[in-house]
Amino acid sequence: MRFCSLGSGSAGNAMLLHWLHEGRDRHLLLDCGFSERELAHRLANRGLSIASLDAILITHEHGDHLGKAPSISSKHQVPLWSSFGTLRPLLQSPLGGEPSFPYRRLQPGACYALHGLTVEAVAVPHDASEPVQFIFSLGGESCMRPLRLGVLTDLGHASRHVIERYKHLDALVVETNHDVDMLELSSYPAALKKRVGGDWGHLSNLQSAKLLTAIDAETMPCVVAAHLSRQNNHPDRVRSTLHQHLGQSFSERLIIAEQDDGFDWQIVKRR
């Protein structure tokens, strides 16, 4: 199993998973915060097309994550997976009837199978309607435990439930949205500062460091810091904070996702 990002930040988010199942390449798109044209362009840069996708998973309905996913799913008949709350306005259309796109409803706390991959939807505290994040597991044959990749962006705090579910991972993509001092000094209106820094907003660098410590991430083979605010954070601030809490070797191997290019393919390896 391997994963990469097509872009990470408030201007749009999308991540790819690739694995083999019964001799066939499988691809999953996690979040779709771009137009169809932009998504096709970014996929092409990875040697793929929308037709290559086996499913599109959405964490929540905010535009930088949902984007044009329903219309893309409808046009290309790629299954779209989300919680009911995420697509409530479309699923409860006054016109009634079935949605025009192939849809699978996700229940927070449940696990689902996709071509040999196990997908766990994890409820998180964020100011959206029924938001979820994901843990992906693959393999586990021959008495070996499965590979486990966690994705954890867009949450205001690391709840006890989140900490418990995200232990024992082999790789993790985690939000480091803002530096507290930069947010406080920014030109954001007071209400927006309160939202971003609140318990239902986004993780700060310090909150992420404490979360990583709580789940024993110091020895995790691959950790990616993602969803950085261009206005209220900087890669140097992220790396410095995580260095202070998790040590030099951790900060040196830390990968930081970028808005324009995301990050390149990373292979999930057992810790």
CA–CA separation, 18 and 270 (whole Å): 16
Report pLDDT for 148. 97
3-state secondary structure 53-112: CCEEECCCCCHHHHCCHHHHHHHHCCCEEEECHHHHHHHCCCCCCCCCCCEEEECCCCEE
Report pLDDT for 97. 67
| Model confidence at 179: pLDDT above 70 | yes
Range from 89-93, 123-127, 168-172, 240-244 carrying the lowest mean pLDDT:
89-93
CATH number at residue 59: 3.60.15.10
The domain in which residue 234 lies consists of: 2-267
From the number of C-beta atoms within 10 Å of its C-beta (0-12, 13-18, 19+), residue 249 rates as: exposed
pTM value > 0.85: yes
pLDDT tens across 10-26, in order?
999 999 999 999 999 99
Q: Residue 137's beta-bridge partner residues?
A: 118, 148
Q: Any idea what DSSP says for residue 218? A: G
Report pLDDT for 149. 98
Mean per-residue pLDDT, 176-187:
98
Mean per-residue pLDDT, 167-195:
97
Look at the chain and report how many structural domains it folds into. Answer: 1
| pLDDT band, very low/low/confident/very high, at 100 (cuts 50, 70, 90) | confident
% the chain with pLDDT above 90 = 93
